[in-house]
Chain A
Amino acid sequence: MNRRQLYIMLLLPIIYIVVFSYVPMLGLQIAFKKFDGNAGIWGSQWIGLQNFIKFFNSYQFERVLKNTLVVSVYHLIAGFPIPIIFALLINAVRSKRYKKAVQMITYVPHFISVVVLVGITLQMFDSRIGLVATIYTLLTKQPMPEILGNPSAFPHLYVWSGIWQNTGWNSIIYIAALAGVDSELHEAATVDGASRLKRVFYIDLPSIIPTATILLIMNAGKMMSVGFEKVYLLQNPLNLRTSEIISTYVYKVGLTGFSDFSYATAIGLFNSVINFLLIIIVNQISKKISDSSLW
């Protein structure tokens, strides 16, 4: 058989990825250098791990690392299964029109910009005029305690506003996978008397597990890249203890006013390395447990 043709197909993508990803990647060396524009990337002075040491020793290191982990782990745990459940529910709806309508509506928030999303969140949870406060007061006859300024509420706000925005969208891929399920399987199971609920567990769910595993690995790899813009906009001095994460910190220390490209690159690289380790670990686990893996 002729594998040559497969390699020919891969040629263009590989050239592409080398030029546009690996060539610039050589620039990561400035994390270990004192970057000087006139000397360029290659000519700048080598300072070894100085930038990293500076970060590890910095006053904020522990706090931002912890906050980043809390938000990202929570985001992964809550944000991963919900689109799957949602897709299974949608798939089980009989009325095509209802199905379509639900899908149509729930994917729309994905198109809303982060600025607006945060705006809506702040409006909803405002302790005086917000919708949530109004309902809370109606039910309990008590004024609602402060939510936006409460440090322990921040991770919830971040994660659940994300779920609100992306559940519909993230379920698209599962819905597509579910649609690929051979309808004969369902017919056969129905003939055998399986209820719809049973069929969800024994036919639908297994059919999306490969997709889900891959997405889980990839989400784990992106875990530390918590959305900068949204966190930044949700921050206020009262919740800073839980809302200062690596990227907002880099922004404040490294990029406001004068850009220290080396320091910013070093912190970014540190973040990437953690992501990399995570993705490798999850990939190994997944290889052992199931058949799906990235490589």
Chain B
Amino acid sequence: MLVCCLTLCGCGTGASNEDGSQKNQTAAEEKSNSDSNADSSQQGDYHSNINPPGEYPVCKEKITMKVGIVQDSNVEDYETNFLTKLYEEKTNMDLVFDVYSNIEAEQKLQVMVASQSDLPEIITGIKLSDLTILSFGEQGAIIPLNDLIDKYGHNIKNAYENSPQLKTYTTMPDGKIYSIAKYTETIGNLWSGRATINKKWLDKVGMEIPKTTDELYEALKAFKAQDPNGNNKADEIPLLGNLKGWRQKVYDFIFNAYIYNDTSDRYIVKDGKLSFAYNTPQWREALRFMNKLCTEGLLSPQSFTINEDQFKQIVRAEPDLTVGVIPAGAIILSAGDERVAEYEVIPPLTGPEGVSWATYFPSMPENKFIITNACKNPEAAIRWADLMYDPDIVITQRWGEKGVNWDDPAPGDVSLYQDTLGYPAKIKILNDVFGSVQNVNWREGNPTYRTADYTCGQVWDGNPIYHEYLISKHMMAYKDRGPEEYVAKLIFTNEEMAEIRESKTSINEYVNESIARFITGDLDVDKDWDSYLAELENMNIKRYQEISQQAYDRIQ
């Protein structure tokens, strides 16, 4: 019975009969719900050409699969790629590619779906937004995967179990899963809203690493006045950031000493109730503090206009360092530059009211793999996706070929995170080709499930100024300093989004714009605050908040 349903579901989904396919899907869903207790490993239940979950090759008879893939300019050729060959061998499928340029690729897919054009069977190689996924799903262009995963998933199911958030955040508001995600955990990134300060300068002016906003102020003031780099020029910039780089904004870490700042939509959650950080008195005090820094020349207003390249140039200045405090998720000084040792991490600052948060950036799944209504063998497709979550192939998907690009660690090797979090050495990188043109994998344009033990378990060569090692040290000061309740991500329905899109975009723009203007003094924290709040009301922040709450409640 089920076989029949799924086969129908697989074959009957041409662009021409949307209605038919949707009916079939519903039928399949009902069926699987009523049979949810049935043992899914029963031999006879599977599609006649597909081997049971976990057994390879996937297909008994060779089939062809047409894949639409977005070109990564660092992947030489998808046809001849090492990983492609591995997939083809494991699945017994012939992969045929439509290659899309990566410029505005999402928009191109939207145009193809909107104009009812023929789609490939699989689309991958691109991170698709939830709204796109949802709208494709509503239009019937892509098929829901819940039942397929239930029946054919093995690694995927394990992953959903081990990382519940992976499942939560790929499930759309209609309860369906439409995509297989790329999910990677890098501990250093979870607590990446860090700032570092020049310890050598601090020693020179006789101060300790600041713990409070007041101490930060004193330190910056000393940096400005006392020529800590000792070149007899007043070229010191006490505090500099930029808006474009990763976690390099000059203000985000300071806000956290006043009120929790998630740095994107800036929700705060208390007892399940959502509100925003940027219309609170605490926010205003934070702005007042930073305005003081700016007025006294301690925070450079350039932080709002330069780009990341210019920022790096200034930070890396030769021969004398000129920047005292650097906010950044990564290390900005060049690799091998020994002056990096002068900088030490500033722990989350404590504000005048005792607030002291670190922003938590949870790992979020990225939608990377969808099966379209043109797919003739969805069962084979899902088993292929399941293969991508296989612990062995995960390494190939990121690092490449064993023995060439990476190897097992030798006895006695220590990992980068050994002395901080105790991860054992798991993988020794021989030749990382991720950043150059290569043909060993798809540079994780595909789904993957790469947990922290891979990235943190990389063998460390003992170099004390190796950047990732420094990051593992810095991270410890921030780890687990986030709030209990937080908004990781909200998935809105298209209707909800249609209602709040303008508010959400305008408000976020306006808040970011106003942060810059309040800090630089273009707006006055005393005189202009009320009109700032009124402006937010104008943009309908109230409705935005209600709908956000609605979306938040849905995933609790």
Contact = CB atoms under 8 A, between A and B. Distances in A.
Within the complex, are A and B direct neighbours (CB within 8 Å)?
Answer: yes
A60 to B, nearest CB: 6
Nearest to B317: A129
Interface stretch (B61-69, B191-199, B303-311, B327-335): B303-311
Contacts of B509: 237, 240, 244, 252
Given A240-B513, A252-B505, A253-B501, A37 B114 contact: yes
Nearest to A41: B115
Interface in B212-254: 243
A149 interface: yes
A261 to B, nearest CB: 6
Contact of B498 (A126, A244, A260): A260
B305 A238 contact: yes
B314 to A, nearest CB: 7
Contacts of B140: 38
A146 B305 contact: yes
Interface in A240-260: 240-241, 244, 252-253, 255-260
A236 B516 CA distance: 10
Nearest to A58: B502
The secondary-structure label for the interface of chain A is loop
- Best-surrounded residue of A37, A236, A244, A260 (most CB of chain B within 10 A): A37
Contacts of A146: 301-302, 305
Interface residues of A, number: 32
Nearest to B109: A259
Interface in B104-149: 107, 110, 113-116, 129, 131-132, 135, 139-141
Interface in B499-538: 501-502, 505-506, 509, 512-513, 515-517, 520, 522, 538
A261 B141 CA distance: 17
B251 to A, nearest CB: 11
Contact of B522 (A129, A238, A258): A238
A1 to B, nearest CB: 47
Contacts of A255: 107
A73 interface: no
A237 B107 CA distance: 26
A170 interface: no
B313 interface: yes
A59 interface: yes
A180 interface: no
Nearest to B19: A38
A126 B497 CA distance: 38
A259 B304 contact: no
- Best-surrounded residue of B139, B305, B501 (most CB of chain A within 10 A): B305
Contacts of A238: 304-305, 513, 516-517, 520, 522
Contacts of A266: none
- Best-surrounded residue of A123, A149, A261 (most CB of chain B within 10 A): A149
Contact of A38 (B18, B306, B494, B505): B18
Interface in A12-60: 35-38, 40, 58-60
B283 to A, nearest CB: 16
B114 A122 contact: no
A257 B301 contact: no
B110 A259 contact: yes
Given A122-B310, A129-B314, A35 B497 contact: no
Nearest to B135: A258
B310 A129 contact: yes
A56 to B, nearest CB: 13
Contacts of A253: 501-502, 505-506
A236 B243 contact: yes
B539 interface: yes
A257 B305 contact: no
Contacts of B314: 128-129
A226 B310 CA distance: 27
A238 B132 CA distance: 31
Contacts of A58: 502
Contacts of A149: 301, 304-305, 516, 520
Given A38-B140, A148-B305, A236-B305, A126 B310 contact: yes
A59 B538 contact: yes
A238 B302 CA distance: 11
B494 to A, nearest CB: 7
Nearest to B140: A38
A178 to B, nearest CB: 40
A37 B310 contact: no
Nearest to B539: A59
Contacts of B302: 126-128, 146
A211 B538 CA distance: 49
A33 B411 CA distance: 67
B506 A59 contact: yes
B497 A37 contact: no
- Best-surrounded residue of B115, B141, B243, B506 (most CB of chain A within 10 A): B506
Interface string B270-306: 0000000000000000000000000000000110111
Nearest to B301: A146
Interface in A256-290: 256-261
Interface in B426-468: none
A149 B539 CA distance: 24
A261 B539 CA distance: 23
A60 B513 contact: no
A258 B132 CA distance: 6
Nearest to A54: B502
Interface in B359-374: none
Contacts of A241: 513
A37 B301 contact: no
B520 A259 contact: no
B265 to A, nearest CB: 13
B520 A258 contact: no
A146 B515 CA distance: 17
Nearest to A151: B522
A260 B538 CA distance: 23
Contacts of A258: 129, 131-132, 135, 494, 497, 501
Contacts of B517: 237-238
Contacts of B522: 238
A260 B505 CA distance: 14
Interface string A110-136: 000000000000110011110000000
10 contacts: A37-B115, A40-B116, A126-B305, A149-B304, A238-B516, A258-B494, A258-B497, A259-B132, A260-B498, A261-B110
Closest 3 CB pairs of A and B: A258-B131, A148-B305, A37-B114
Interface of B: 18, 107, 110, 113-116, 129, 131-132, 135, 139-141, 243, 301-302, 304-307, 310, 313-314, 494, 497-498, 501-502, 505-506, 509, 512-513, 515-517, 520, 522, 538-539
Given A148-B305, A149-B520, 4 more contacts: A37-B141, A60-B506, A237-B515, A253-B506
